[in-house]
Amino acid sequence: MIRAADIREWRNRSVVDPKDHKIGVLEAIYVDTTTDEPAMATVRIGLPTRHQLAFVPLDNVILGPDYVKVSYAKTLVKKAPSIGMDDILPAEAEEAIFQHYDMTYQPGTGGERQLARR
């Protein structure tokens, strides 16, 4: 698991799937607001002139010397909800990310977001 202290160290590393297919480049980490533990990453995908940031969960992640291996196939990540390079994740879009990966979405008791960018 990526610890909060390591976030800057792993930014711009290649993100690969379980079969070592390159998905893209790690752009940012989003932590779970209830635990402050890394929960999702954005991966820079697409053509150089049309990059997007796709979301991928960080459960069972493996860190290598120059890569971050996620437990999801490249095709699934490329179809995940994404945002533009300069965009911010809207609160109402969080649930769709969790649904895409068949994960339970749990906003805070007061309706707070589940994800926060670090």
For residue 46, what are the contacts with CB-CB under 8 A and spacing of at least 6?
24, 52
* 32: nearest Cα among 61, 5, 59: 59
pLDDT in tens, 6-29: 667 788 899 999 999 999 999 999
Higher pLDDT pick, 38 / 8: 38
Q: How far is CA 113 from CA 5, 55, 100, in A?
A: 22, 16, 17
Model confidence band, residue 47 (pLDDT cutoffs 50, 70, 90): confident
| pLDDT, the chain, mean | 89
Q: Looking at residue 106, what is its pLDDT?
A: 84
pLDDT at residue 53 greater than cutoff 70: yes
Count the alpha carbons within 13 Å of 79 in the hemisphere toward its beta carbon: 8
